Chain A
Amino acid sequence: METLKTPFSSSTYAKAASIFDSRSMESQFVPSRRMDIYDPIQQIGMWGESFNANSNLHASVSMIAEMDHKISNESETASHEMLAPSNKYDQEATKRIDKIQRRLAQNREAARKSRLRKKAYVQQLENSRLKLIQLEQELVQMKQQGVYMGGGLVGGNLGFSAPVKSGIAAFETEYARWMDEQSKQICGLRTALNAEISDTDLQMLVETGMKHYSELFRMKSTAAESDVFYVMSGMWKTSAEQFFSWIGGFRPSELLKVLLPQLDSLTEQQFFEVCNLKQSCQQAEDALSQGMEKLREIVSVTVADGQLGEGSYSSQVTTAMEKVEGLVSFVNQADHIRQETLQQMSRILTTRQTARGLLALGEYFERLRALSSLWATCAREPA
């Protein structure tokens, strides 16, 4: 133990020392053989800035505060006990000694506080590490169970671990290819309409475009057999597209509203027919939506059958499964309406008008996707 160059009584000294020991901290004093201050400020800065106070720290701080109070009381009492200043010189000496003692005590306190903060910080790091491991494990589990989160399968976009519903993985791959092909076709239409190409050639482009949409509907139908909720929710599309989604795709009547002003040079007859088509679509959509409402009611009643709160419900859930399978026909019927609408438009319009319509449609979706990307970028930056 270090001997301090101050006239402390051995009993006070021992008392002070025991306080250190009993707290089971490092019982060494700040090594200051010199009267210089062992600079604790740097240490305080290190631990103080790098983390927020947590409950551990609060306990440490209150403990430290308690200790501080004790120590300062101790040193003050000791000073007054030991030194009875008789003359002015003695008074000065006493003051200097007091200062030195106080400084040393402060150093010790600072060092102790620093050690406690370090301990608390390390504790927090350990906790965070454990939490991280736990989250990683949960993520692996979720991928295995085929959990979907907005924008696709958990882990699907990250490129590792195959999802459970292989039909959906196949669909996502196919859809990516479909999108590539779609961009090429849209560019082709744009070029063709600006150039002077014959109606026959244009017709070929139109037919290719129409077939491409049919291909999408076929893909969706297959995917719906695998996981109808996935297709229904439009999860495979970007967020802005999902905003407009109706039973797993675009709402035909809404599209006609978008397209109508884009089709200049419509004859009166054509205009009349397109308006009729829009109305027919709306009626068909309403009927299908009402059928969906009925299905929701049926599933809800099936799930809620019996006493809610009983705790055992496997029969209700199994029966509900069967009803939910009815969703597949809704997806198919919605795509059927979309298909028929596209076909009818191509009948009402001339080749050139249809080509322009397909181009307009394609770019409309491109713009929606661009909106989704922009939104995603902005949303990530903090305010």
Chain B
Amino acid sequence: MAATAGGRSRLHNFLEGAGNGGEHRLVANGCESSVTKLVVENAVIVFGRRGCCMCHVVNRLLLGLGVNPAVCEVDEAKEEAVLHELSVINGGGVQFPAVFVGGKLFGGLDRVMSTHITGELVPILKEAGALWL
């Protein structure tokens, strides 16, 4: 890849840096000890691979509802460790993107979409304190 002045290619910068567009809170990624902390401390938090478009869809949907979700973008290197940690918290398997609401695993994009269509999502978010009217 061609090097820019900063020594990194434009592609590299794009994928690694500017993924979230700055609208939601990008929290520190991937350290095992902090994962549990993140889940507990945030009403809504989304875990996803860096540069994942489906993760972006979840975030845009939540933002559109007035939720300000915490987002944790996980490096490929730390992916396994983070998934393992999340599975421990959940007591079962976890896949990216994973949405935790009120400290518990809520589900992936599929569940977020279905519950939104049926109208169940918003009350759940309100209950968790992620949404105020």
Contact = CB atoms under 8 A, between A and B. Distances in A.
Interface of A: 273, 276-277, 280-281, 283-284, 286-288, 290-292, 294-295, 297-298, 301-302, 305-307, 326, 329-330, 333, 336-337, 340-341, 344, 347
B57 A340 contact: no
Interface in B29-59: 51, 53-54, 56-58
A290 B56 contact: yes
Nearest to B121: A280
Interface stretch (B60-68, B84-92, B98-106): B60-68
B30 to A, nearest CB: 21
A290 B110 contact: no
A307 B64 CA distance: 38
Contact of B56 (A273, A286, A291, A340): A291
Interface string B111-133: 00110111100000000000000
A294 B113 contact: no
Interface residues of B, number: 25
B117 A287 contact: no
Contacts of B56: 290-291, 294
A302 B2 CA distance: 12
28 contacts: A277-B119, A280-B117, A283-B64, A284-B61, A284-B117, A286-B60, A286-B64, A287-B57, A287-B58, A290-B57, A291-B60, A292-B53, A294-B53, A294-B56, A295-B53, A298-B14, A301-B10, A301-B15, A305-B11, A306-B9, A329-B53, A333-B110, A333-B113, A340-B113, A340-B114, A340-B117, A341-B117, A344-B118
Contacts of B116: 280, 283-284
B77 interface: no
Given A283-B65, A302-B11, A305-B1, A291 B114 contact: no
B54 A276 contact: no
A308 to B, nearest CB: 10
A329 B113 CA distance: 13
Cβ-closest 9 pairs across A and B:
A291-B57, A287-B61, A340-B117, A287-B60, A305-B11, A290-B60, A295-B53, A291-B53, A294-B56
